[in-house]
Structure 1
Amino acid sequence: MRMEAILAIAASGPEAAEADAARLAAQGVGALCAFVPQAALAQRLAVNEPAEAGGVVMLLPSLANPLAVARTVHAAWPQAYLLIVRAEDDLPRLRRDLGIAPMLGRQWSLAAVAEPELTTALRQALASSRQRRQLRTTLASANARLRETHAVSLGEYHRLVTSEHHLSNFLRHSQAAVLGLDAAGTVLFWSEGAAELLGVTVRRALGRPLAELGDWAREIVQAATSLAPEHPRQLVEQMVHLGGQERALEAMLLLTPAVAAGARGTSVVLRDVTARRRAQDQLREANLQLQRLVSERTEALEKSQLALLQVQKLEAIGKLTGGVAHDFNNVLQVIGSNLQLLQPLVQDAGESERLLRAALAAVDRGARLSSQLLAFARRQPLDPVPLNVGRKLHEMDDLLRRSLGEHIEVESSLAAGLWTTLADGGQLENVILNLAINARDAMPEGGRLTLEAANVVLDEEYTRTVPDLTPGQYVMLAVSDTGQGMPPEVAAQAFEPFFTTKPEGKGTGLGLSMAYGFAKQSGGHIRIYSEPGQGTTVKLYLPRSFEKEVIPPRHPTGPVQGGSETILVVEDDLAVQAVVVATLQSLGYRVLRASDAQAALSILQSGVHVDLLFTDVVMPGPLRSPELAQRARQLVPGIAVLFTSGYTQNAIVHGGRLDPGVELLSKPYRQEDLARKVRHLLLLHRQQARTPKPAEPAEQADEPSSPAGALRVLLVEDEAELREVTQQMLELLGCRVQAVASAEAADAALRAGSFHLLLTDISLPGRSGLELAREARALNPEMQVVVSSGYGKADTDADTWNLPKPYGLPELQSLIERVQATVA
């Protein structure tokens, strides 16, 4: 506390005055006070001495009527600060009296005589008095300057004083946090807003160094000392702890030099900018997040653009290779067909036969290359069926081990409950085989090949960078090796046709491109993961199918058969047309020919009977092949239609798949392929043209319904369509057939008549086909029993034959021949 005199008024009695003096001396403030007894107060008031006392008048506890004395002092010295000091127990009564007493001005306060309240009240009183004195000094200086230029009236002077008084009161009671400091950093002014914001009362703050009021004040004091007339302003923002919370505090400091030499009232305005700082931090974080998002999206966009460019490049190459494959297949067809026509003429001719076989092998190799080109170009006609990838891998196990050799260890990891996928089984086998061979070539010193199959879900995050791939459920097939691996630049080109890192003559560079085309055409995706020295993994994703698995029929075997039916050949390439006509004529067929669809339509319209239309897909002229086929079915009911092409375009293939009901023989094909396909279609249409016969009553089972000596067959099958078509094929083979749908109906038929053969499905409603087979054996030991199963070879008795599904006419023919041999 600064050594300034305080006018202390005590009671006139010596004992009371001495008691007051002793209290003040005990608290260390006695030396600051000039004691005046109440009896001498009138004299002091008359000479107007409060300015010499520093403007603070303290009324001591010994005064019997302090309010009366306070009113007297205020009337004489209205600018003086009144500090009424009382004993602790006397304060409540005095506060009540002050509530009804006349106002004593704004510069007064009430305090207890006890420490520390009295000391705090003195600090506040002195600081307030000092501030008002400085303001009056400043105002007087300003008035003096004004008087130097023009005279100031007494009324103007009073208005200025009143304005200063109102400004001071406004700042003191404002909610704004305003404070004033002297040159030493002592608090001269402290608004109620500052008390509320900082949690420091006005009494505690006034007259004390600002640095003692909290850690938050040190930076403000340091900034205040650095202010100078050339830099009178400074903004300070800091994080502080107020009320147990971390808050952002902004301080605006303004230097106001005083008139007195060397003096400087620093004004400070404080604001709580926590909300603004939090908003700025959130905005900054949002900007950072936006920048990260933009960076990620930009990176994803760049990847998508690169992927799109790669797809566009592969599409362009695909269109080129598709057109080339069409003409190449026609050339191969002519070469291959002529070589096969020559084959019977050079049998046992030594060197000529060897050269012919070599030429045919070259044609086969060219056909495989062409097929791979079409697969990459997504022009390969697919015939997808619901299949199980795990079953396909099991079926290929022997083939893979033979192809890879003994120095390659093969492992399989198949997840339980694999989903069904819709894919072309033959093309899938080619893809797996090509991937396995590529892996083998990457491990010349041996290694391990791992085949994996699992169910996966590809989300939008994954598919965003893959054009034409939709999120959803997929069946994943992975082929991994422990070979040399590939650097990124090689992996990026791996799917391009004819790109290969193998030595010249060791690879065509079409294996991976064929796999790529198959994946895309099947609605899936393929990806390579590889690092040099770490091996390679190729993952193939095929869309999940919710259809039941279908096991495709086996390829027909046995000798090639011809016939005497009439076939119309429509082919614009005259060389291909000539060899096709020669091939069919060599098989005994009557052949008509046309070079375009319009000429073929004219032949059909002439009324000539045609059993089968064999037409190329890509034909010149306005009439397209599918339209020709439709007109042919209208003109010749029951006609069979077989398409052929080396490049299907979109005529009979949509979405990479053959249209329903379309039969296609892809170029180039062998004579054997053509003969079997033609014979199969002619037999199939003959069966469909026949009117189904009603089931014969059990008691007429032995009556002749087919040529004498025909086998009597009891067919038990609960699926109506399969039962009907099997009956038709057996009857086509010359059998007398009674077809029933259940084991109970079969029991009745077996007890009513005799049969050479019982052909029963293994899964029947109510009872197993194996049980029916045993009972049938007991009834007729001479009868042959055959069990058919869709699960492969069934676990039957030793004397029961197996017929795995699916079966066709060749399998049934072989079965009937075996039964006939036993009957004979």
Structure 2
Amino acid sequence: MKWKQDNPTPVWVRTARPAGLLNLRPRPDPMVPGRLNFSARRPITSIAHNTMRSRASVTPASGQEKSMSIERSPPQAPRAVYDGPEATAAPRPAASARTSRDAFDGQRSSVSRTELFRSLFEHASEAMLALDSRGRILLLNRPAELMFGYDREELIGELVDSLIPDHVRERLRVMRRPLQASAGIGTKGFRQPASARRRDGSELPVEVTLRPLRIEAGSCVLASVRDVSERLDLESNLRQAQKMETIGQLVTGVAHDFNNLLAIISGTLELVHGALPDDEEIRDDMDAIRGACNQATLLTRMLLTFARRSEAEPKIIELDQAIEGQARMLRRLIGEHVQVQLKLGLGAWTVEIDPLQLEQILLNLGGNSRDAMPSGGTLTIATSALQLSSGDSRLLPSMTPGPHALIVVTDNGHGMDPATLDRIFDPFFTTKQIGSGTGLGLATVQGLIRQSRGNIWCESAPGRGTTFSILLPRAEQSVEESIVVAEPAPKGGRQTILLVDDDPHVLRVTRLMLERSEYTVLAASSGEEAIEQVTQHAGPIDLLLTDILMPKMTGPQLARHIQALRPGIRTLFASGYAECPPDGEATLHADERVLVKPFSIRALTEAIEEALQP
């Protein structure tokens, strides 16, 4: 093959054998001094000045790749350029080339490896930089440009320290030292979490891998930089989810024990209340205790709702009246330095929502407003009626046009910038310090509102406060129409109930409630004792009423044993959990009923009558 060594323009050359014409462009190689790269259809051809014999692959005009053995004459030899149908004669050819049958015969030159490295380097998925012994950047690829925000021309020749924050610079410098030394070529390299600095000064978490690399110009360090921001966010979210799962399990266990205590208190109150003389003052005191028990029951439901272990119980409520009642708790939550103003304009308008969920929504929004006003301020809750047409942008697909109640919660706190505003409903997103927030509050609020076929949106600006707007569809019923007139509690007949509970106090109170309802009761404090009662009792047993979680034998296990001894016996489970606990040995069948503690005599007798229905 013939070429003109000092000609920077493309030249045509012809191979010794009829392989076609080649259009080659010579380029100096920045990594290998004295080397020219010749590019044909693909830039993979290079000729080394300090090598008498080498191999190169080129693509001839025919499109077929050929492997060539290149023999070069000394530099002072006359040269010739192919510039026409025939080559200009030369006393000694500058180089000759002969084709080889196999382009991949295992004898590729270092030149081919260099070009392969360059191609892999440029097309790597990670940001990569080659550094010399002083930490100057020799090469970088396109992902590095995108990561750091620089063009490569701006970085080549510059110290890599400009891309490293001060607090990790010395640590990475120490890592590079053994790799930059010639003795470090045999080492495996290092991987280290670190931080990188972009052009705009922002930092991002990265994982840096440093490896030694030998090139003809000497040794250098190859740095692979991986952005681990997304991975760290996922790991943080996973830890947060695991923490919330642990909290949920703790809350569920506490609520179970608390509900057992409430079952004892409320059951005893109901029994005593029925035996009291007609003394108005005593009955008022008993009613106050019963009200406290009901409030405690609501608190346990709030805990279970927070832990996502409780089903929603929507009810028809007058929205203004509910907000006015919940404002008392809200004022205690946010403190005296924030004034709470109510501007309620719905009157007797009703909505259908779980009262506990409404309270959770207002407490969460109020808590966020308190945090936005550390020096004090005003929190305003206003309600009004709104008619939404079918084309209204505030209607979600799950919503229907028509009358809606609008709740507007406004504070005059520090507000939010657009970037924060865009993410406030994202799970786990929080602007609070570590330990001060979970990032789940507003995501939960949005989920609760949409569960009630409503919508929520936010408007805010730095220094101008924040406004949350909530839409809830108006209920078709009034509160009076939704209330079912209570009938007297049904009385038990001559049915026999096998009652099982491992808590002796719950067992005693429940037995008295059943006897007050004129049932015949067989009581047992364990599964083994219940099985013994069944074997010894000669008469019929109509219903098994058992706790779910008990030592040694769970309620469902006990039910299977007794159903084998007494086929046809009906079963009713009682539990302090809001739903069946996640225990493989306590799994219920789909048609089996659960009575949640605490329960009244009416709820108990109604559940029994329903379980005894054929």
Query: Which category describes the TM-score, using the shorter chain as reference length?
Result: 0.3 to 0.5
- Identify which of structures 1 and 2 has the higher relative contact order when contacts are C-alpha pairs closer than 8 Å and 6+ apart: 2
Structure 2 length-normalised TM: 0.48
Higher helix share goes to which structure?
Answer: 1
Structure 1 length-normalised TM: 0.37
Higher strand share goes to which structure?
Answer: 2
Q: Whose radius of gyration is greater, 1 or 2?
A: 1
